[in-house]
Structure 1
Amino acid sequence: MTQAPSAQTTPSFSSIVGDVVIAENLPSLPIPKVRGDKIVVKISEDLYEEQLKLFRTNLIGRLLLRKGSIPLKIDVIKTSLDVLWKPSKS
């Protein structure tokens, strides 16, 4: 009796970065609470405004490439966007 070859499993994103801590100031973060089947986090207006100021110049997006394209390095993307958008240095 022969066994079928086992499928190679790829690690998930969450398993790779699961132990990474992104927040700078964990003690200031509110504690999540479970209400029914949802997790609720209450964020104060002050904390919201503080974080809004910190990230006011950030851009979050997704770069979609054609299937089979070679992934671009971050410095190539940054240089291309700097040329297109001409951001101010302030």
Structure 2
Amino acid sequence: MIENYQIVEELTAKQVEKLYELYRQEWWTRERSREQIEKMLKHPDLPEVLQFNLQCKEEMTAFYERFGFTRRLGDLFYMRRTASR
């Protein structure tokens, strides 16, 4: 479990580079450019976001709960539909 963490409001150039490296490791973010990531981080609407949703493996829930995420979604359910082929 990751124990050494710090919440930051803005990323340094080194942190943006690390985020870019993380994006390059995943199939769904692999094609993003560094410029696209920087643009996303500087989006003017980002401070106005009221809610973030997160999908993670069960063993990571305790980690994310430390940042205020919850599994208690009231009457909401996570659902998925997969195309039949």
The TM-score by the shorter chain falls in which range?
under 0.3
Larger radius of gyration: 1
Structure 1-normalised TM-score?
0.23
| Structure 1 or 2: more strand by fraction | 1
